[in-house]
Structure 1
Amino acid sequence: MTQGTIRMPVATTACAGAACVRRESGGLARRLAAPGTRLCPACHEHLVRDLRRLPELYEECARHLDGAGGERSVEKTSGGPLPGMPFNCRAADTRSAILGVLGSWAGLVLEEFGLTGPRRAVAPLARFLIRHSHWLAGHEAAGEVSAEVARLVRRAHGVIDPATDRRVPVGDCVEPGCSGDLTAVVRPRQPRLPAAITCTENPAHRWAGPEWLQLSRRLNATSATDSSSPEERWVTAADIARLWSVPPGSVYRHASTAKWRRRSESGRTYYHAADVHESLKHRAA
């Protein structure tokens, strides 16, 4: 037997980056994440590139605030430089989203390292996140930050184009005897509004996004009649962000501060729905 170093198998993980997720949706396999991270080198570079682009895109959106955005322009009769001057609400909302998202992720880094934060402006925040991009790539939220920054870039590029609502499947309708499916309707034109959950069979079966956790409890109560104990509900950070209209960075801060119960499955992190509801129930009010 040859003496030598015993080589242990190296664990490999599929990349959670936005570009690899799109590859998978197109029928291609995701690339492997770099050791110790959740992003492949290409998706890491894509994240850094998008962060570099956001300050310029933020300023470009400002040039559309005067109504050059077309269909999303409205007549603004107060608060503007001139009465009746057209105002592009979508451009303003996109700028607000860029600043808010970068600030949220920067807050996650600051909480981890106890650093002094950069000035709350897009360019300094983007530079700060680029400096800490390797840490973000190794964080459990690497996929979320990659996806959210990529969405900001797409949203800024499409600021002059009409946006359409997106529908996200949620599950079976909870109303007794209803065979419909529940769908969360996400409105890009109104990013501050929580998703609206509607039933495909009966439009009267309708809930706001934050009520999804209560709907889950109703499903649990129904299943409890057929089993010894109700099924626990677990949700991803992306689900929480979408349904409660909370930036993903804030989701992870809540999870850390409130010590939400968590579990990992197939490389994804899930949080206990009851803990999420307890922390965020005030937002529904």
Structure 2
Amino acid sequence: MVHPCLRKHTHESSAATGYFLCAPCISQTERNLRTIPGLHQECLHQVSTTSRRGNPTKVSGSRRRDHLNFSVLDARYNILATLESWSEMVAEKLSTAAPERSAPQLARFLARHLQWLASQPPAADFADEIEGLVAELRSTVDPDPTSLHTLIRTCVMENCGGTISALSKSSRNARSRNIECSAGHSWEMHEWLNLRKLMEQQRKGADA
């Protein structure tokens, strides 16, 4: 019995035999999975909005303030969270070990099990989410130059009235930028994932 592909198409497409997706959707999802690691790495160049667009010639002794692009950090966080969630589902259902929590490892794991995923009822959701991740990464790598992505967030430290903004002073070494709150608390860039989780917990607590 022929079933329609569960994804929305301009023209109706039939799912491949034994799958919930048509052959073009399966192929596109595989390409998207193989594209994610490179885009995930490339968007690091956009963490500081002046890192690639600024004038590479700097007058000695001049001071520069780099804008930390929170949307980039959020995008990287969302990519890992989404890939990890699908990978955990696959690992549990197939009784196999989950991959290391990194974009390349998670994407490769999902690509290896794509045929199985395409044969499951949530196949369309999976394909849509992977496509959405690629679109988000591409917009991050090549952002709208008119968008400043300037956000201000309450510091996550207990009893701190400071705010964390998307503006950070660059140090002499451009690779050692920190995320700072107005009261003086500071986090290294690699601590963003943990900081992001604390911000989310804080937001949920405020909404409760």
Corresponding residue of 2:104: 123
Structure 1 position 161 matched with structure 2 position 151 = no
Higher RCO structure (Cα 8 Å, ≥6 apart)? 2
Alignment check: 8 A CA contact 1:69 1:88 kept: no
Alignment check: 8 A CA contact 1:69 1:91 kept: no
Distance 2:124 2:25 in 1: 9
TM-score by length of structure 1 reads 0.45
State the secondary structure of the residue aligned to 1:85: strand
Distance 1:147 1:121 in 2: 21
Give the residue type in structure 2 aligned to 1:104.
Answer: S
Corresponding residue of 1:16: 6
State the secondary structure of the residue aligned to 1:156: helix
- Structure with higher Rg: it is 1
* Per-residue deviation, 1:38: 0.5
* Per-residue deviation, 1:31: 0.9
Give the residue type in structure 1 aligned to 2:82.
Answer: V
State percent identity of aligned pairs: 31
Q: How many residues align?
A: 140
Corresponding residue of 1:54: 36
Instruction: Give the counterpart of 2:115 among 116, 121, 134.
Output: 134
Distance 2:16 2:109 in 1: 22
Give the residue type in structure 1 aligned to 2:21.
Answer: L
1:237-272 Cα offsets, whole Å, 9 max, x none, are xxxxxxxxxxxxxxxxxxxxxxxxxxxxxxxxxxxx
Distance 1:41 1:35 in 2: 9
* Per-residue deviation, 1:64: 0.3
Corresponding residue of 2:78: 97
TM-score by length of structure 2 reads 0.61
* Per-residue deviation, 1:83: 9.4
Instruction: Give the counterpart of 2:125 among 144, 168, 193.
Output: 144
Corresponding residue of 2:16: 34
Give the residue type in structure 1 aligned to 2:67.
Answer: P
Q: Which runs of 5+ in 2 are unaligned?
A: 53-62, 152-204
* Per-residue deviation, 1:93: 1.0
* Per-residue deviation, 1:85: 2.9
Alignment check: 8 A CA contact 1:61 1:156 kept: yes
Distance 1:13 1:67 in 2: 47
Corresponding residue of 2:49: 67
Distance 2:146 2:36 in 1: 20
1:118-175 Cα offsets, whole Å, 9 max, x none, are 11000010000001000100111100010010011111111212899xxxxxxxxxxx
Q: Which runs of 5+ in 1 are unaligned?
A: 1-10, 71-81, 165-188, 191-281
